[in-house]
Amino acid sequence: MTGTVSESQRKVPREVVLGVSGGIAAYKAASLLRLFTESGDRVTVVPTASALKFVGAATWEALSGRPVSTDVFDNVDSVQHVRIGQHADLVVVAPATANTLAKAAHGLADDLLTTTLLASRAPVVFAPAMHTEMWENPATQANVRTLRERGYVVLDPAVGRLTGVDSGPGRLPEPEEIFAACQDIMSAPRDADLRGQHVVVSAGGTREYLDPVRFIGNRSSGLQGYALAKAAASRGATVTLVAANVTLPDPAGVTVERVVTTAEMRTAVLAASGDADAVVMAAAPADFRPVTQATAKIKKAHDGTAPSIELVENPDILAELVQTRTSKRPVIVGFAAETGDADGSVMDHARSKLERKGCDLLVVNDVSEGRVFNAADSEAVIIGADGFSRAVPPGPKANVAHAVWDAIVELMT
């Protein structure tokens, strides 16, 4: 998702509280604030006193159009330490430092931000940012677990360059990714019905190289798989996303494992699904690979002839997941990108695939005339081994994603 806000995102204004902790990443919160205001939300910025040492109150007031304070004794007559949280539709803390996470986990309330967190019944999203050692410290990890168990959304930090020469997990997710996670939570309010569940999602299209520059592949962009990962994270799940040749930014709060070939995807998916509660195979693995891969670029013969390439069938990851599970978990979901032909309709082929694969659910996309691929919107029909069928009308791919998780939750319960 980019920072551009579409007309479909403009809505009845909602009250958002943007908490800003005292870390070097505080400057990125200004971009997050702009994304909220441009989408039509009304934002109250609540920085900590240390946050104002990085970005001053004047910046927050100019961008939000609202006064900024940090002290519970400011505007005492309006009882703002309670009112701000009570009126919020969402509270997002970005960056959330180790200190702020610790205070929130232990119910401390010694400034306006922490009292707001205690007073609000709105969804709360924390976007952590700190040095790797601080993020991985057992105390911080215990605080994160506590917050998640209480229903708060704590995004995983991004991996990358930190301050100085340091690099590793602890970087604030990009504002666009935090904004996307928050929009998903606000636009599709649900109980955290996937809290405590580990889900695995595959996305993108694998590549099988003929030589160092050419490969067999497909048109999958990974957009639907990424939408599924984001939706699951917004519903409280621990998400592992296995992404094949996708150029999209990592979704906030999601563990991303990047692969190239079908064999690499198989290894990553099977490893991640060992303790998974659900696996959604939204990727498009290549069905075939060359028997041999040339070590140098295959040259033209310049006599009108083309090289003969022998192919072998790739492993069927979806079928293997079904065959190797020993109980009703994980719930296994496949995708079918189908076109009708002389042998049957899209749904005829889809029902045949569902029976052949043996998965619990199959998400069917009609890809005739290039539909669905690389498009922001989609439509689908979800069918189940038990005769379940649900159509998802045209709309953003997030709608299809939530419809898939709705169906999975029904099976889980």
Active site residues: 218
Report the 3 state secondary structure along the chain: CCCCCCHHHCCCCCEEEEEECCCHHHHHHHHHHHHHHHCCCEEEEEECCCHHHCCCHHHHHHHHCCCCCCCCCCCHHHCHHHHHHHCCCEEEEEEECHHHHHHHHCCCCCCHHHHHHHHCCCCEEEEECCCHHHHHCHHHHHHHHHHHHCCCEECCCEEEECCCCCEEEEECCCHHHHHHHHHHHHHCCCCCCCCCCEEEEEEEECCEECCCCCEECCCCCCHHHHHHHHHHHHCCCEEEEEEECCCCCCCCCEEEEEECCHHHHHHHHHHHHHHCCEEEECCECCCEEECCCCCCCCCCCCCCCCCCCCEEECCCHHHHHHHHCCCCCCEEEEEEEECCECCECHHHHHHHHHHHHCCCEEEEEECHHHCCCCCCEEEEEEEECCCCEEEEEEEEHHHHHHHHHHHHHHHHC
